[in-house]
Chain A
Amino acid sequence: MTTSPRPRRRRPTRWTLVAAVGLLALVLAGTELLLRVKPLTDTAAMVVQDLPPVGLEPEPTRCRRDVDAATLERLREPLTADTRITSAHVYACPIAFDGRRVTFVGEVIGDLIERRDGVWVQVNDDDYALAVGPMGGHRNHRGFNQGLAVWLPDGLHERIEAVGGPGRRGDVVLLQGVLLRNDPDDGGGITLRADHLEVIAPTVEVPEPFHPVQAVTAAVLAVLAVGTLAWSRRVQRR
């Protein structure tokens, strides 16, 4: 590598780099195109109707553990048993909600984790749960999932028909219970220990519509790939 490359050899180098960049652009453009032509479902039907309004300030106040008493008082003031809270508010300032009786609405998701005298369940109150429904069928990005861990004692969970998962928006439930920021039964986790549950919106199946263009593209590329690999084996053997 101590001799400088001769002029006529530089062309293949340049071409290789151009080809690489071109390939990248093709892959980028190709996947974008496939996404654009993806069949989508209508999300208008996914909005959960008649939810109790959130009884707190629109933007959660973030606090620290050394928050001053005045702020704490201000945050706790509107909290009654019927005040609907959101998980975003809780995580922004757990200490304000600790030990208070609250109302919480969200989609039951993942698994009903059965223990001896009750059930743990994750209840999400993000937009995928309450407004636009599961992704895959739409391209309405609304950030991460967010919700609370809920403890349902004494058979409360039996009212739940189904939990959310791929292609399914699970039961939307209204819960009432005590919020704990240091739940001893959860090794110190933030949980809602519910004692009242009602299903306010049933499970909705939202299967992702089949994407025929993508399937055809996959088939074509697969054939090309097998061909390329077969050709490559032959070239190598020579």
Chain B
Amino acid sequence: MLLRPGADDLRLIGYYLGKVLLGLGIVQVVAALVAFGLREWNSLSSFVIGAALCGIVGGASEAKLASRQQLTWAHGMVTVALAWLVGAVFAAVPFHLSGHYEDWLSAVFEGMSALTTTGLSVISDLDHTTLSMDFYRHLLHFAGGQGIIIVVLSLFAAGGGRIGTLYVAEARDERILPNFIRTARFIFRVAMVFLVAGTAALFLALLVAGFAPGRAFYHAINLFFAAFDTGGFAPMQASVAYYHSFAVEAVVMVLFLAGSLTFGLHFALWNGDWRLVTRHIETRTLALSTSLLFAVVCFGLVRSGAYDSFEPLIRKGFFTLLSAVSSAGAQVKNGETFLSDWGALAPAAIVAAMAIGGMASSTAGGIKALRVGIAAKTLIHDVRKLLNPESAVVVTTYFAGKRHILRDQTARAATSVLLLFIVTYLIGAMVGLTYGTYDITQTLFESVSAASNIGLSIGVTDPAMPRGLMAVYLVQMWLGRLEFVAVFALIGYAISLARGRVSA
């Protein structure tokens, strides 16, 4: 399926990218308003510059690149792949202007990390940064998490049919409501409800924890964005450990859970359909894997003597595991202490949890529970076939919204992407090793964290880290968020673009 892109195709892609930039511009305007209210003048001007650039490029694209050409699957794929990259670059403008990033690559890294809801950060001196800049980092989680494209769909969409293709490309393979626009609007409604309820709950928890009301609100809204969108940034360098409060940790964990549920399951819960949730292959896969991995974490922590009582096992152990499973990445420990304080077994279980990831069709990352569940069922299916007489027909099914038959095509798609993730993890780990200053535990941990968009850091990600490694993690975050398919479409597009010019 080699496409030969013409000028019209590029125009179409450019047109939709322009819309994405307009959405990003709005995010930067919101940050600018916050900066204005807080009288942070340099931050204000940097946000205005960012928003203006988005407006200029986005507006020009809208005007000059409008086309009547029908959007196809291929266009959708390329647009989505480029949207994250282009978004990261334009989001990086205020970051770079803030002076808190060592160079452009660091600023783009932060932008990519923010939009892909990874949460690995390379900011210098976070604890002294302006409040509006810190807010902007978290707001980008929200924008990227709900999918820049979904925001664009809901706000700017004119016709329903044309943009349908984009939705499928956005690594979300569920259609909750028959109309794509209505699905997008439901997702947004869930986000809004949780925004209000979640921020309120965090605000109360922070007040109880001993924060002044103004500060409590500031931390609440930022923590909400980071937790619900399973991002991983936090207002302070100490992350969630900063609050020393189980109330805060509990609300954050509820938001992790909410953020890692597929929107189809939110829909089921909102309709009181409890059984749909409990029968779902992803719920069962995650319940099983998380239980097993937590058992390993506890065993590892107690055995190594790291903790010997109940509370730390939950507040440090389970919190970190849930942070990994939901791909949030908020930490309750300094990253270096995973190695120096936890023994070897518990961090290994965390890496496994990060690799498995959360549910498909949510802001979670990783291989995804759906694929892991399908892969497991495929193995079981093959074993059953082996054990049965050759003439017998063996049918395996799985429940995901409704009962599906496990077909070869589905099984193969799931296992292919699973393989691609594992290869990416290993490549990232190997590249890290070439620098000679890190060991395999560190590079594997960090590589899995980047490619699964988790954000837990064992200390490798750092403002002064080798730039080659930073670039590798940047690409991994991008690949992981798009789950490879869209990126490969983009590479294919670029190759045929180059080839097309040479051949004629």
Contacts and interface: CB of A to CB of B under 8 A. Distances in A.
Do A and B touch, yes or no (CB under 8 Å, in the complex)? yes
Interface stretch (B180-188, B309-317, B369-377, B478-486): B309-317
B128 A65 contact: no
A124 B126 CA distance: 12
A13 B130 contact: no
Contacts of A142: 124-125
B5 A232 contact: no
B10 interface: yes
B456 to A, nearest CB: 15
B128 A135 contact: yes
B49 A35 contact: no
A93 B340 contact: yes
A101 B209 CA distance: 27
Interface residues of A, number: 87
A40 B336 CA distance: 33
Given A35-B96, A145-B125, A190-B334, A27 B6 contact: no
Contact of A232 (B6, B10, B60): B60
Contacts of A217: 45, 49
Interface string B324-348: 0000000011101101111110000
B210 A120 contact: yes
B56 A214 contact: no
B4 A222 contact: no
B10 A16 contact: yes
A221 B48 contact: yes
Contacts of B5: 1
A228 interface: yes
A84 interface: no
B7 interface: yes
Contacts of B130: 136, 166-167, 208
Contacts of B14: 16
A177 interface: no
Interface string A1-22: 1101101011011101100000
A48 interface: no
B102 A111 contact: no
Contacts of B52: 218, 221-222, 224-225
Contacts of A189: 241, 244, 316, 332-333
Given A164-B127, A214-B97, A218-B49, A1 B463 contact: no
A94 B337 contact: yes
A94 B504 contact: no
A66 B127 contact: no
Contacts of A92: 336, 340
Interface in B77-96: 89-90, 93, 96
Contacts of A164: 127-128
A54 interface: no
A32 B215 CA distance: 33
B278 interface: no
A182 interface: yes
B9 interface: yes
Contacts of B340: 62-65, 91-95
A205 B377 CA distance: 62
A111 B210 CA distance: 9
A101 to B, nearest CB: 20
A188 interface: yes
Contact of B462 (A17, A32, A143): A143
B20 to A, nearest CB: 14
B98 interface: yes
Interface string B124-168: 111111110000000000000000000000000000000000000
Interface in B10-36: 10-11, 14, 25
Contacts, number: 259
A219 to B, nearest CB: 8
B223 to A, nearest CB: 14
A226 interface: yes
B357 to A, nearest CB: 26
Interface stretch (B111-119, B196-204, B299-307, B422-430): B299-307
Contact of A145 (B127, B210, B215): B127
A204 B249 CA distance: 33
A182 B463 CA distance: 29
A136 B40 CA distance: 11
Contacts of A45: none
A31 interface: yes
Interface string A82-117: 000000000111110000000000000111011100
A190 B241 CA distance: 10
Contacts of B500: 4-5
A149 B52 CA distance: 41
Nearest to B100: A135
Nearest to A214: B45
A236 interface: yes
A190 B242 CA distance: 11
B468 interface: no
A218 B127 contact: no
A13 B6 contact: yes
A44 interface: no
Nearest to A11: B7
B59 A113 contact: no
A7 B504 contact: yes
A15 to B, nearest CB: 10
A13 B10 contact: yes
Interface string B398-438: 00000000000000000000000000000000000000000
B438 to A, nearest CB: 11
A63 to B, nearest CB: 6
Contacts of B343: 64-66
A113 B41 contact: no
Contact of B312 (A167, A188, A219, A222): A188
Nearest to A235: B63
Nearest to B124: A141
B59 A225 contact: yes
Contact of B339 (A1, A27, A62, A168): A62
9 contacts: A14-B501, A31-B97, A93-B340, A95-B340, A114-B210, A124-B127, A146-B237, A182-B306, A221-B52
Smallest CB-CB A-B distances: 5 pairs = A188-B312, A225-B55, A187-B315, A134-B128, A221-B52
Given A1-B5, A164-B128, A211-B41, 12 more contacts: A1-B9, A95-B341, A111-B211, A113-B210, A128-B127, A135-B99, A143-B463, A188-B316, A218-B49, A228-B55, A229-B55, A232-B59
